[in-house]
Amino acid sequence: MADTFTIKQGDTSPALARVLETAQGPIPLEVGDRVTFSMRRPYGGPVIVDRQPCQIREGNVVVYFWHDRDTAVPGLHEGEFQITRADGSIETVPNGGYLVVNVVETVA
């Protein structure tokens, strides 16, 4: 089952917080690692969030803080995190699909 995050159209809260993991378990993050978040419309649609920086918090929690333009378009979106290690190696999570971001349309 895909991981789904739901937020209302135009909202900037709550932030998107995740412990990044693969089928082998949580991914340890090290000092010097950088994590970004990207999101697009499904099936190769336009990119809405393009490699925006995330905070790395204690316990390997990664947090992306939304901008109002990120949630302007209602519907399902595909998201992913990219870890760039201090040595330059790159890992994308999830590596077997996407995080589903459901932007729910507002009433007015």
Phi, psi dihedrals of residue 69, rounded to the nearest 5°: -70, -25
Q: What is the pLDDT of residue 65?
A: 98
Q: Which domain does 61 fall in, by range? A: 4-102
Q: What is the pLDDT of residues 79-98, one digit of tens each?
A: 999 999 999 999 999 988 99
Which residue has tokens 């190769």? 44
Phi-psi region of 5 (alpha: psi -120 to 50; beta: other; left: phi over 0): beta
- The C-alpha atoms of residue 12 and residue 31 are separated, in whole angstroms, by 28
Residue 23: pLDDT band with limits 50, 70, 90: confident
Q: Which CATH number covers residue 97?
A: 2.60.40
Our count of domains for the chain comes to 1
| 108 assigned to some structural domain | no
Query: Which residues have a Cβ under 8 Å from the Cβ of 96 and sit 6 or more positions away?
Result: 23
User: What is residue 69's three-state secondary structure?
Assistant: helix
Q: What is the mean pLDDT of residues 75-81?
A: 97
Q: What is the pLDDT of residue 78?
A: 97
Q: What is the pLDDT of residues 34-65, one digit of tens each?
A: 999 999 999 889 999 999 999 999 999 999 99
| 107 assigned to some structural domain | no
For CA atoms 65, 38, 76, 94, give the dihedral sign. Answer: negative
